[in-house]
Amino acid sequence: MPPKSRITRQMILDASIDVVHRLGINALNVRAVASQLKCSTQPVMYHFATMEELKNEIYTIVDQSHTGYIMDVDFENDPNPALAICKNYIQFAVEEPHLFRFLFQTDKFANTNLIDMIQSEQLTPIFQAMSEMVQLTPKQARDAFASTFFAVHGFASLLANNSMVYEAEYCNRLIETIFCGAIGFMKVGWEESLYPNGEGRPDAPPPWERNS
């Protein structure tokens, strides 16, 4: 067994994240971390007075890693960086289901609201790119992205919580449909988006009965 002094705080953090990655947050405890490091429980308790302190610190690390993963987008050359972020978000849930559940299903967003999740400074380049690409105001771009993102979160949650087969092509097609629909709604409203120039509207007369 290595001496206590050789077990550093960073080693404990790395071991804890590995436990969560493999087994989930419910498996994280002092003994599990000590077993991962092949040491006694004393070094873990020396560096972290409580498990809550340890969980909070690894949450920050995993959250930063998740942000880096989903924001790994070429903002200058990607034709639609907003969609690329959404696709990365689902891919992370597929590749790291335990970490995804740790981030989003352990009540870490208590006392916040949905708007707080969308107003991150890291998303500002996305809203700017959308504004320029489809002529939306920054607020409209944010709302269109939010509509798409929360649907994407539902896809990701289903995949992270179940032994489902991830059909990327199908998911991507749905994301694009939701995204384009949200943009259309923001630009012209639901009526014009569904019935351009009144065509097909149930209460509108057919074209041949309208005044020329």
| Residues 96, 175 share a domain | yes
Read off the CATH number of the domain in which 5 is found: 1.10.10.60
Q: Which residue's entry shows tokens 């493999």? A: 22
| Residues 119, 191 share a domain | yes
Q: What does each C-alpha distance from 57 to 10, 143, 155 come to in angstroms?
A: 11, 31, 27
Tell me which residues of the chain have a pLDDT lower than 50: 1-4
DSSP assignment, residue 83? H
Write the DSSP string, 132-156. HHHT--HHHHHHHHHHHHHHHHHHH
5 and 50 Cβ atoms separated by less than 8 Å: no
Q: What is the pLDDT of residue 119?
A: 82
In a domain, 66, yes or no: no
Q: What is the pLDDT of residue 194?
A: 72
| Residues 101, 163 share a domain | yes
Q: What does each C-alpha distance from 135 to 91, 123, 147 come to in angstroms?
A: 29, 18, 17
Alpha-carbon dihedral of residues 116, 120, 123, 127, nearest 10 degrees? Answer: 60
| Residues 132, 112 share a domain | yes
| Residues 183, 108 share a domain | yes
Burial of 91 (0-12, 13-18, 19+ CB in 10 A): middle
Instruction: Give Cβ neighbours of residue 125 (< 8 Å, ≥ 6 apart).
Output: 75, 81
For residues 140 and 135, what is the distance between their CA atoms, to the nearest angstrom? 9
For residues 66 and 83, what is the distance between their CA atoms, to the nearest angstrom? 16
For residues 120 and 19, what is the distance between their CA atoms, to the nearest angstrom? 29
| Residues 180, 156 share a domain | yes
- Structural domain of 17: 1-61
For residues 98 and 161, what is the distance between their CA atoms, to the nearest angstrom? 9
For the chain, the first-to-last Cα distance in angstroms comes to 90
Number of domains in the chain: 2
Please give the model's pTM, rounded to 2 decimal places: 0.84
Which of 61, 81, 104 represents a domain boundary (last residue)?
Answer: 61
For residues 84 and 149, what is the distance between their CA atoms, to the nearest angstrom? 11
Q: What is the pLDDT of residue 171?
A: 94
